[in-house]
Structure 1
Amino acid sequence: MTTLKGHTALITGAGQGVGRGIAIALAERGADIAAVGRTLSKVEDVCAELSELGVTARAYELDVTDEENVPGLVDRVAEEFGSLDILVNNAYFGSLGPLLSMDAKKFQRGFRSAPFAAFNFMVAAHPHLVARGGGSIVNLVTSAMVRWDGTNYGAYAAAKTALRSLTRTAAVEWGGDNIRVNSIAPHALTPALAGWAEANPQEAEEFVASIPLKRIGDPVADIGRAVAALVSPEMSYLSGATIPLDGGQAFFG
């Protein structure tokens, strides 16, 4: 399918895991990719993979918490590709652990990389999406927001809950610009999760058992291709939603 041919997607945290999976899935549908990451070599490797799919892919090095340089990067992407149609705010680096184990800096880290960074990218992307007659933004949140036991996930869930609220507000305020804004809450077998599962086999087994589909999602097949469908013209009436991509584990009712 080439339903996204002629579209440009900017993806943060694209050097590995879910970000890489989304980049591959969008490229499979023909989208050109601006891959953003903190480690240039990682996004360059992903771009080499994407180029084999016949799309234009460029790597950009940026820490998403570098607020001053976000607008310039977004403008540069739009200029170099000639347009910007899709924004995926995937990058996140925060802290896990009991609340009393954290100082203010650790607690705030996830906010800086999630809702604060996403806000900066969204505002910078807005005029470019408007210039294209509309576009699509996808923000990554988490089922930890509704986890039955929030122990150790407090800072993570709080930051992502803020991002979910931001997503809904932008969907409402920017709907008149034909900009759709949605969030997804994925489980995916990322390098970090794979490492945790290897180090904690019993907990990992219990975790998988709690997923109705009895497996952890694949970054390309289960997460990336769902995002590709979400930003495609076939889903043009869906906005302001949070979509769990977790095999049925979380209850977002």
Structure 2
Amino acid sequence: MAFRVLVGVKRVIDYAVKVRVKPDKSGVVTDGVKHSMNPFCEIALEEAVRLKEKSLASEVIAVSCGPQQCQEVIRTALAIGADRGIHVEVPANDELGPLQVSKVFAALVKKEDVGLVLLGKQAIDDDCNQTGQMIAGLLDWSQGTFVSEMTVEGETLKVVREVDGGLETVRLKLPSVITADLRLNEPRYATLPNIMKAKKKRLDVLKIKDLGVELSPRFQVLSIDEPPQREAGVTVESTADLVKKLKEIGKI
């Protein structure tokens, strides 16, 4: 039986951009900086579209939370193959943590009668790796994290997870929450005809209050600092020279 799939598509600073910390250390510079869809979200979206192409998913809904500019990544998702989009509008000066986003998705799952949630395993801006797990907890659903292979088998999912010791294969009962790892698939590019078609696809805009989600932050960022500059390396001629050098700098 086909089910609806909810896919998270986060707008982040493009992976090719060198991130700069603000002078007051309150965050990173975002004004005038190129943004794009989080790479792991692209992988999750591709998997959802493939499920639709196999008639395993009845509808793919792309969701993004944030300011008005988030509609750009939703339109990209629609061009790649999502059926419709939902923009949960949040003012640019309001910080959304994993818990708040998880509550938004849990509310949308109930509102849209969703059977599967697909997310990237983490976003490249904060690297929290928490949202998928929190959604599963709020919904009391099964979850598969760090997934590199996924197969739908009736009312269950067979997934391969990338864990520290290698690969772990588990079977999950639907409905479920899946977070995509790097090797799950190779995302497709949006073609020009599909980009044009995406402009006609439905994109709903909701307010946080429409979903009854509380935005009060649970933690506060005190300071963001640049990583320390790395010292230049040196070359040695032999193992003996290496040991001598390590002794000199106090490493052994």
| TM-score calculated relative to the size of structure 2 | 0.39
Q: Larger Rg: 1 or 2?
A: 2
Tell me which of the two structures has the higher relative contact order, counting C-alpha pairs closer than 8 angstroms and 6 or more residues apart: 2
Structure in which a larger fraction of residues adopt strand: 2
Structure in which a larger fraction of residues adopt helix: 1
| TM-score calculated relative to the size of structure 1 | 0.39
